[in-house]
């Protein structure tokens, strides 16, 4: 029987961040506001950092109109493999990109990128064909419109790609609040303004008890 709830494992997952470039984000992402989108991307990136997941970065035509990678990603992952594709639209068509994934030994791919219907969908579908479990992070991926995003997500879902938010990725990796609850709470509070109130209330109550 097919597993209808494949869970992301910290031991078997790698994060792929494809074409989160300044020119593409400002020029093409219309299903999210720019600030919200950048926050979502950094939330996923910080989740990967918190859980110590390997990360692979990729760009296309970064010296042209697509622009450089988001500075926040460069700062978070200065030693991560950076695959600068000379022309391949589908990152999976780039031999170095696939080799970098294979080198991790992981079989679960968490992928996000710009744009959703091309730079996420194409490698996600290719990876499914290659036998990987693929999890596409929809709110850390952006495209021309919500309609285009919906069509891309439908296509991926039909092929077996799991669609998730960065928050659901983080929660599935955490599994249990008792696994470093303060560290996990700080991760959420750093990216979700509303959650800062939750953590503040919790810490205030905890300090009162300890007095």
CB atoms near residue 117 (< 10 Å): 18
CA 207, CA 87: separation in Å to the nearest integer? 56
119 counts as catalytic? yes
The upper half-sphere exposure of residue 132, i.e. CA atoms within 13 Å in the direction of its Cβ, equals 29
Query: CB–CB of 141/116 below 8 Å?
Result: yes
- Among residues 69, 109, 119, 152, the one annotated as catalytic is 119
What does the block give as tokens for 26?
């400002």
CA 207, CA 210: separation in Å to the nearest integer? 5
Catalytic residue list: 119
């Amino acid at each position: 029987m097919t597993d209808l709830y494949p869970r992301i494992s910290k031991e078997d997952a790698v994060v792929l961040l494809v074409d989160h470039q300044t020119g593409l984000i400002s020029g093409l992402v219309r299903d999210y506001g720019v600030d919200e989108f950048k926050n979502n991307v950094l939330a996923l990136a910080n989740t990967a950092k918190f859980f110590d997941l390997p990360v692979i970065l990729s760009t296309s035509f970064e010296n042209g109109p697509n622009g450089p990678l988001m500075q926040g990603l460069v700062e978070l992952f200065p030693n991560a493999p950076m695959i600068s594709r000379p022309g391949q639209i589908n990152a999976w068509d780039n031999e170095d990109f696939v080799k970098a994934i294979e080198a991790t030994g992981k079989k679960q791919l968490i992928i996000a990128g710009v744009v959703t219907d091309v730079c996420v969908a194409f490698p996600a579908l290719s990876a499914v064909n290659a036998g990987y479990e693929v999890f596409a992070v929809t709110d850390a991926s952006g495209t021309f419109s919500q309609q285009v995003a919906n069509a891309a997500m439908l296509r991926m879902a039909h092929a077996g790609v799991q669609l998730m938010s960065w928050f659901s990725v983080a929660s599935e990796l955490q599994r249990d609040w008792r696994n470093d609850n303060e560290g996990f709470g700080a991760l959420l509070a750093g990216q979700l303004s509303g959650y800062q109130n939750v953590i503040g209330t919790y810490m205030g109550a905890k300090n009162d008890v300890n007095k």
